[in-house]
């Protein structure tokens, strides 16, 4: 999966999205802080490839993107909108292929601008990046080639607090950053920063009114933070091999960035620091039971402002959850399986 698969919906309910076989599923709270319902298929009965990208707009709506088989050796992208976790999502709508036809070219990424328009990004056959954007009054703009070359791993799309969409990608020896100059415009490649990112470790977060921060693991094993216009800053040694989950939250009255990652020991490791103040330092604290090697971690903030962490194992279907206690700092309840 690509994007924040654990989100709080417009109605305050938390929900989890996952790819399961040839379908996409959603599992949601019956009410804010309440019991959880059984998983439900989203987007109708079309058969999907086992890939899912999720993006969420300021309106709380979830936008889902996947690949579906269209002919032997060929696939096309499909899009669905889920307005509320307890309602049925719209049926999958075919949106095409970055090269008009062919097989899957990469894992898509999706971000939603301030006007609620989804922007789909995907690697193309030329190893660059293509984008498809929704029109404000329905329908889709034509595919756009955003250029780039030798893109590796998953793309990372994010919407800044300004409402403008940004995109990050890893290439050999560098990080690439695209940004909209104004709402609704085509993102342009603004910067190529020399770095040694490990493909598949990128995670971006809006961290101020003008900035987004990219977290990635470099070849030395350090988890680094980069804001375009500056240089990457090593934050601490990565706890494990995959990408981190990241969320902004308030801890003891301070605007903090909280990171979580499945550690090398198999448990979930947490680290927090004042947002955009990497010089303050951070350190990992592990929590919970040992998780399977394919377990993914995600973070959300509930309707009461409490941090909630989810761990999901695609191979076993196990979903575990912990919630912040009403105590100083980041005190967490015991993990429980849903």
Smallest CA-to-CA distance from 187 within 195, 196, 178 is with: 178
Exposure string over 206-222, b if 16+ CB within 10 A, otherwise e:
bbeeebbbbbbbbeeeb
Q: What's the pLDDT score for residue 122?
A: 98
Q: Comparing C-alpha atoms, which of 76, 115, 116, 73 is closest to residue 93?
A: 76
Report residue 208 CA to chain centroid gap: 18
What is the Cα–Cα distance from 52 to 48, expressed in whole angstroms?
A: 9
Residue segments in the chain with a per-residue pLDDT below the cut of 70? none
E strands along 108-211, which residues? 109-112, 118-123, 129-133, 144-147, 152-159, 165-171, 174-179, 188-194, 203-206
Measured in whole angstroms, the distance separating CA 202 from the mean position of its chain's CA atoms is: 9
Say what the pLDDT of residue 34 is: 81
**pTM of the entire structure?**
0.96
Mapping DSSP onto H, E and C, the string for 315-332 reads: CCCCEEEEEECCCCCCCE
What is the distance between the alpha carbons of residues 258 and 253, in angstroms, rounded to a whole number?
Answer: 14
- Taking phi over 0 as left and psi of -120 to 50 as alpha, with beta for the rest, 316 belongs to alpha
List pLDDT tens digits, range 125-179: 999 999 999 998 889 999 999 999 999 999 999 999 999 999 999 999 999 999 9
Beta pairing, strands 296-301 & 6-8: unpaired
Please give the DSSP secondary-structure letter assigned to residue 99.
T
Please list the residues that pair with 214 across neighbouring strands. Answer: 204, 226
Q: pLDDT tens, 205-215?
A: 999 999 999 99
Cross-strand pairs, 17:
26
The pLDDT, as a whole number, for residue 110 is: 98
What pLDDT, on a 0 to 100 scale, did the predictor assign at position 86? 81
Answer for the pair 56, 7: CB distance below 8 angstroms, yes or no.
Answer: yes
Two tokens, residue 146: 């955003």
Check the CA dihedral 111-307-19-103 and report its sign: positive
DSSP states of 27-59 as a string? Answer: EEBSSTTSPBPPPEEES-S----S--EEEE-TT
């Amino acid at each position: 999966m690509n994007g924040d698969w654990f989100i709080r919906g417009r109605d305050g309910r938390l929900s989890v999205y996952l790819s399961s076989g040839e379908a996409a599923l959603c599992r949601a709270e019956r009410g804010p802080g309440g019991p959880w319902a059984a998983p439900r298929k989203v987007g109708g009965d079309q058969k999907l490839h086992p890939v899912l990208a999720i993006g969420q707009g300021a309106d709380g709506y979830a936008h889902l993107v996947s690949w579906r088989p269209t002919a032997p050796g060929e696939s096309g992208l499909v899009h669905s909108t889920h307005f509320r976790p307890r309602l049925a999502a719209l049926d999958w709508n075919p949106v095409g292929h970055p090269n008009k036809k062919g097989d899957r070219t990469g894992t898509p990424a999706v971000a939603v601008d301030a006007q609620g328009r989804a922007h789909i990004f995907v690697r193309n056959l030329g190893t660059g990046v293509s984008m498809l954007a929704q029109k404000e009054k329905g329908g889709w703009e034509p595919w756009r080639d955003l250029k780039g070359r030798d893109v590796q791993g998953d793309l990372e799309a994010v919407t800044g607090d300004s409402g403008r969409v940004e995109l990050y990608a890893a290439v050999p020896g560098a990080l690439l950053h695209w940004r909209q100059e104004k709402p609704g415009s085509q993102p342009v490649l603004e910067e190529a920063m020399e770095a040694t990112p490990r493909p598949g470790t990128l995670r971006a977060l809006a961290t101020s009114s003008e900035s987004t921060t990219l977290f990635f693991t470099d070849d030395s094993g350090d988890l680094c933070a980069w804001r375009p216009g500056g240089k990457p800053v090593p934050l601490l040694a990565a706890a494990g091999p995959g990408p981190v989950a990241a969320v902004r939250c308030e801890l003891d009255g301070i605007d903090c960035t909280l990171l979580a990652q499945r550690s090398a020991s198999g448990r979930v490791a947490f680290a927090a620091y004042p947002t955009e103040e990497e010089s303050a330092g951070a350190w990992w604290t592990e929590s919970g039971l040992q998780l399977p090697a394919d377990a993914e971690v995600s973070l959300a903030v509930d309707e009461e402002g409490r941090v909630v962490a989810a761990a999901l194992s695609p191979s076993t279907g196990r979903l575990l959850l912990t919630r912040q206690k009403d105590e100083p700092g980041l005190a967490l309840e015991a993990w429980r399986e849903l």
